Amino acid sequence: MIGLLGTLIGATIAGIFVVLSNRQRQSFERAKEKRELLLAKFEAIHKGLVAYQKLANELSMQMLSEAGYGGKLDPNKLSKDAILSDLKMNVLFYAPELKDIVSQIEQKHKLIGSHAAKFVLGSNDADNSKERMAGNAAIEAAESQKLTEEAEKMLADLVSAYINA
């Protein structure tokens, strides 16, 4: 009888140990998956910032090229909503600390787009000459570049804080 009781107690203790061990392992696995997801999303935000800024720089350079050297502006460069959509979604869900600066970058890009649209439509009045619109777009692109660099620094700080937490 004592042997049977000892076996039952031993099996119960072993069962409790297995259950606690499994819970701990599952918790560790969930934390690991969350960490990997967040790091992947932080990387996607960085890539989105770089792609969005590259688009602004290319567009302003094409405008300058056409205005100064007779190059041709590619109208397909005017809209890259997918880049912005993914960037905004990732910022909203995974790095809301960047929301304000990404909104500022978006406003700069809207101004660049406005200059590009006027440029393509070929307004000829003195205030909207192609050279002036191209110059304005280049200024907005440079200001957007500064904001993008600031956002990248904020993202780096966010990733560093997350990794070291």
Domains by residue range for the chain, with CATH: 36-164 (1.20.120)
Q: Does the predicted model carry a pTM greater than 0.85?
A: no
> What's the pLDDT score for residue 94?
92
pLDDT surpasses 70 at 76: no
* CA distances, 114 to each of 68, 91, 121, 134, 140 (Å): 19, 25, 11, 11, 11
Mean pLDDT of 103-116: 87
> What's the pLDDT score for residue 80?
61
Q: Tell me the per-residue pLDDT of 35-61, one tens digit each, with 9 for 90 and over.
A: 898 999 999 999 999 988 888 888 887
31 exposure class (CB count in 10 Å sphere: 0-12, 13-18, 19+): exposed
Count Cβ atoms below 10 Å from residue 97 Cβ, excluding itself. Answer: 14
| CA-based nearest residue to 95, from 164, 148, 162, 144 | 162
> What's the pLDDT score for residue 82?
64
**Mean predicted lDDT score pLDDT of the chain:** 83
pLDDT surpasses 90 at 150: yes
pLDDT surpasses 70 at 125: no
Among the residue ranges 10-19, 74-83, 92-101, the one predicted with the least confidence is 74-83
pLDDT surpasses 90 at 28: no
> What's the pLDDT score for residue 55?
83
pLDDT surpasses 70 at 104: yes
